[in-house]
Amino acid sequence: MPKPEVETEILESEKTTFNVIESYKIKADELEIEVNIIHSPEEFVRSYHLNFPSYGPGTVALLANIKKNLVEETLATTGSVDTRAVARIKNKLQERALKIIARELPKAPEETKKTLIGVLLHEMLGLGKIEFLLSDGHLEEIVINNSKEPVWVYHKKHGWLRTNIRIPREDEIENYSNIIARRVGKQITVLAPLLDAHLVTGDRANATLFPISTKGNTITIRRFRRDPWTVTDFIKSRTVSAELMSLIWECIEYEMNMIISGGTASGKTSLLNVCMPFIQPNHRVLSIEDTRELTLPDFLHWVPLTTREPNPEGKGGISMLDLLVNSLRMRPDRVIVGEVRRKREAEVMFEAMHTGHSVYTTVHANTADETLTRLMNPPIDIPTSMLDVVHLNLVMFRNRRLGMRRVLEVAEFIPEKRGKELDVKPNIIFRWRSSDDKITAHNESIRLLDELGLHTGLSRQEIKRELKEKEAIFEWMVKFNVHKVNDVGKVMAQYYHDNEGILKMVRNQKKPEM
């Protein structure tokens, strides 16, 4: 077998004048590759260029032969959802592929062997070259529009970029959609041409088939962090403040209800996830989502539930409402609802709040005022009298020009009587100040501290002392970079078990043992 011939693919734009704005390397399955962000005067959009290795005909034939030998193991992954199961199969394939390559190319350098194995794993178990994009922590979205256009990505720093990746055929895009669907027990067909699912990595995926998408088959992947955001990360990035988070922790500790609002991709679910380690480890937590996005500490008593689309005959579908009604029969202490969109779901959720369950959810709205408007009008249309059970409303904001996210407002809902009519108005407790990029106290609490006192039996002075203690804990965690989701959860669990012990470590500025 001839020695592998390795070259580099060249963009059309690179054959003319271009400027490399930024370069960095990414790694996927032991295969490292360089990324260049390119600007060309002839192009209106910047390019995201991956320097892929390419191979001569002999190497291509070898890869095809190895694929043929490994096809049985590849088929075994079609129904696999568990990341550990996929990892085991991947390791098995890697071992077999290495033996074949060592036999066929005994004199090839180790780096070349690793490269060939990485290419094989991507093509047989993953989404081909898209796997490199999934490994780039700078990307938020990966978009395949059709086989005629290049793949697009949304870069955290550079916005939308056109890549040098093309999926050559429509049936190949459809095949990728089927791989994603099968691994989460779903399907996408001509009769059911829409798919909402998640990848084994946890990234959210949406797919559509022609002719619903008239230019061709599409796949949209929203990429999530492999290491989930935590409160420490949010305080460091100034998305929140330690003072604000101490209030949220106090509310979650004493089982107050909370709604997180914001626009698309403003960070609603990320903030919800950041707050969940504040729950006591001996509480039973149920989460209900269309697609799994939350990641809680391993030791929490957590049961994640996800919806399911009906089959082509219209049978077997499990809706958000089905899961919400069922969850109340599962003895939950806390219920997390991914997002409420319809009236019946909202009615059951608010009924759960009224019956003593602690509920957390997200809503699409840009301010506290908009949150109330959205809740009280169709399609959600909740009666004003039911809104008094919401203790806190957090509003997330995203500044796309500056590429930052902030908690814009923290509000409590205040019922007001206007003659015989009952109205609800927000009282803004905290607000982000754009002039100096700070989240500051805005108004005194009218209702929240009294509600906390009612739930806890603590005086206002005692509550304020607890808030100061929690604020000091957050500052201590930031100082010693306690930011892994399990480590943050461990600090919270230790606080509930022995709060004086944690506070002593904070006072003495002792480094936590993790």
Q: How confident is the model over 279-332, as pLDDT tens digits?
A: 999 999 999 988 788 889 998 999 999 888 777 677 888 988 999 999 999 999
Residue 200 has what pLDDT?
A: 76
Within 75-173, strands assigned E span 139-144, 152-155, 159-163
Distance CA 487, CA 500 (A): 18
Which domains does the chain show, CATH number per domain? 7-222 (3.30.450.380), 231-448 (3.40.50.300)
Q: If you ran DSSP here, which 8-state letter would residue 318 be given? A: B
At 184, is the pLDDT very low, low, confident or very high (cuts 50, 70, 90)?
A: confident
Of 189-198, 223-232, 307-316, 489-498, the least confident: 307-316
Distance CA 357, CA 334 (A): 6
Query: Which two tokens mark 29?
Result: 């399955």
Of 151-155, 202-206, 291-295, the least confident: 291-295
Nearest to 163 by CA among 54, 51, 55: 51
SS3 category, 316: coil
Nearest to 254 by CA among 37, 398, 448: 448
CB 490 within 8 A of CB 275: no
455-500 tens-digit pLDDT: 889 999 999 999 999 999 999 999 999 999 999 999 999 999 999 9
Residue with tokens 């959802």: 81
Percent of the chain surpassing pLDDT 90: 56
The enclosing H or E element of 439 equals: strand 438-441
411-425 tens-digit pLDDT: 999 988 777 778 899
Pairing of strands 194-198, 159-163: unpaired
Distance CA 353, CA 350 (A): 5
Distance CA 490, CA 299 (A): 9
Residue 444 has what pLDDT?
A: 92
**Residues with Cβ within 8 Å of residue 297, at least 6 apart in sequence:** 277, 485, 486, 488, 489, 490, 493
Q: Per residue in 422-451, is it b (16+ CB within 10 Å) or e — as a string?
A: eebebbbbbbbeeeeeebeeeeebeebbeb
Residue 84 has what pLDDT?
A: 64
* Four-CA torsion 373, 409, 423, 275, nearest 10 degrees: 90
Number of H-type helices and E-type strands within the chain: 15, 20
Residue 454 CA from chain centroid, whole number: 35
* Amino acid, res. 98: L
Residue 290 Cα distances to 36, 191, 326, 387, angstroms: 35, 21, 15, 24
